[in-house]
Amino acid sequence: MRGIWRVRKALDWLERTTGSEPDPEPVVALIEPPPKPAAAALPQGLWMPKFQPWAYVVVPKSACTTAGQYLFYVDHGYYYHDDIHRLRYGLHKAGLNPQMVRTHLDEANEDLFTFSFVRDPYARLVSGFLDKVLDLEQGYRQDIRDRLTSDWQVQLAGDRSQVDNFRSFIRFVEYQYERWEEFQLLDPDQPDPRAPWETVDIHWLRQSWYLRRGRRHAGTVDFIGAVETMTDDLESLTAHLRPPHVPPLDAMPKFGAGPKREAPLEDFYDDETKAIVDRHFGPDFRLFGYPKVVGGEPKKLTGFERADLYNTSLPVRTDDPEDCYNEIATAATSAVDGDEGVQT
């Protein structure tokens, strides 16, 4: 026992004299994996059939109800029984199930075919006004209606003509676009000073914005038909896609028809209102082959040729200032428009 005690005492003396201490265990820094970049938000108006690698870029007031019904029919063999914008099943909608659309886009990969339809900007604005402002049964955007009647002399009930009301409405649209241009001059960290009614509504937002957003997420736009040649373009689209179900295009119902004009299209525009449209909707004329002539004939283009014109005229950008329009979908949504605030 005394021997063990002497060994322990010697060890204690050595530790005191040398000051040696056991080496501390090395500290291993925990390396956090880099965060995955957030996926860019899909545009709400991107619809895909459940069983085909196709994508439709919704452009409000450009026959989107008819195009949506076509997309549903070629996938299922019949038309949807109600407003296609209220549909909750049967199509993948980015506004309802974005992850499903993203997965479907990935699965389609190189087989993805993206299409859309556009319309003469002059006619589209008149249609949007008659449908979303003058049609009292819609109950759309009461905040905008109140401003139009109080500050822009639009009469929702009375003997003022559609033409006079529309010209007042176009001046209101000009104000919305001017407020957007002012917003673009602010620093990015500054809050948006605009009231909801001052943001450009989706039904008179430039068509080029929808195609730009759709192309960014789908990769390209392969076919851009025109409302003015809707039947011919649907026939061309059908011949290319060879869908499992082909709707009777010659007898296709007229979906989403709004109030009728009380005068020819040319009567709705004077020099002032035409100049406003020409300034703020210039890309829609240039990119889709429409002349800056009210009631003028568009270029004779197939849907594939119009898509080529668009794709070659507008390079893909990731810093597009028009992306600031992404707040509009929220501001414009109403109970009438169901899932996405988009209705023809």
- Residue-wise pLDDT tens for the chain (344 aa)? 555 556 555 555 555 555 555 555 555 555 655 655 555 566 678 999 999 999 999 999 999 999 999 999 999 999 999 999 999 889 999 988 889 999 999 999 889 999 999 999 999 999 999 999 999 888 899 999 999 999 999 998 888 999 999 999 999 999 999 999 999 999 989 999 999 999 999 999 999 999 998 887 777 899 999 999 999 999 999 999 999 999 999 889 888 777 899 999 999 999 999 999 999 999 999 999 999 999 999 999 999 999 999 998 865 554 444 443 333 333 333 322 333 333 33
Structure confidence at residue 156 (pLDDT): 87
Structure confidence at residue 138 (pLDDT): 80
Q: Give the integer Cα–Cα distance in Å for 41 and 36.
A: 15
Q: Are 45 and 91 in contact (CB under 8 A)?
A: no
Q: Are 210 and 58 in contact (CB under 8 A)?
A: yes
Cα→Cα distances 28→21, 24, 25, 59, 83, Å: 20, 12, 9, 55, 61
What is the DSSP code (8-state) at residue 100?
H
Crossing angle for the helix pair 121-129 and 271-280, nearest 10 degrees? Answer: 110
Structure confidence at residue 14 (pLDDT): 58
Q: Give the angle subtended at the CA of 282 by the CAs of 188 and 215, to the nearest 5°.
A: 65
Structure confidence at residue 328 (pLDDT): 36
Q: Are 215 and 114 in contact (CB under 8 A)?
A: yes
Q: Are 338 and 210 in contact (CB under 8 A)?
A: no
Whether the full predicted model's pTM is greater than 0.75, yes or no, is yes
Q: Are 92 and 47 in contact (CB under 8 A)?
A: yes
Ordered DSSP codes for 197-214: GGSPPGGGS-HHHHHHHH
